[in-house]
Amino acid sequence: MHAVSVSGLKQNPSEALRQAKQELVVVLNHDLPDAVLMGLDQDGLLQEPGVRAALATALFREGGLSLVRGAHVAGMHVSNFISHLSRLGIPAVRLNAAETKSDLDTLNQWPQSSSQMPAL
């Protein structure tokens, strides 16, 4: 096990990550244990079936990853990740009421604007 202070983590995060790939790293805040860093690919954990997809899904659902980044973490094409989320009942696109209204207004205006375009 390795220990690093918060200031040491700020100054050299790559060293803490390198250490975390080999052993647990305890982050000390004012000399008190505050967090633990653990490399995810120890013992091939990320290579186990479904682990990357589950991790990406949880991070996406909680807002920690964008749709594209979630697909990348899951090792899927974006369309496959959207289908995966759909099967789990997780919306791939999250809009609030104002954003939805704006998108619908734009969609309703589109046929009108395209019919006014000159023919080539």
Q: What does pTM read for this prediction? A: 0.65
Distance CA 66, CA 75 (A): 14
34's CB contacts (< 8 A; 6+ apart) are 6, 27, 28
Residues recorded for the chain: 120
Q: Which CATH architecture has domain 1-39?
A: 3-Layer(aba) Sandwich (3.40)
Q: Of residues 18 and 45, which shows the higher confidence score?
A: 18
> How many Cβ atoms are within 10 Å of 60's Cβ, its own excluded?
22
Residue 117 has pLDDT above 70, yes or no: no
Q: What is the pLDDT of residues 86-116, one digit of tens each?
A: 999 999 988 888 888 888 888 888 777 666 6
Q: What is the pLDDT of residues 24-74, one digit of tens each?
A: 999 999 999 999 998 887 677 788 889 999 999 999 999 999 999 999 999
C-beta separation of 3 from 25 below 8 A: yes
C-beta separation of 56 from 74 below 8 A: yes
Domains of the chain, by residue range, sit at 1-39, 41-97
Distance CA 81, CA 89 (A): 12
The predicted pLDDT at position 22 comes to 87
Phi then psi for 2, rounded to 5 degrees? -125, 150
CA-only gyration radius of the chain, Å: 22
E strands in 30-90: 32-37
The helix (H) or strand (E) run that includes residue 14 is helix 13-20
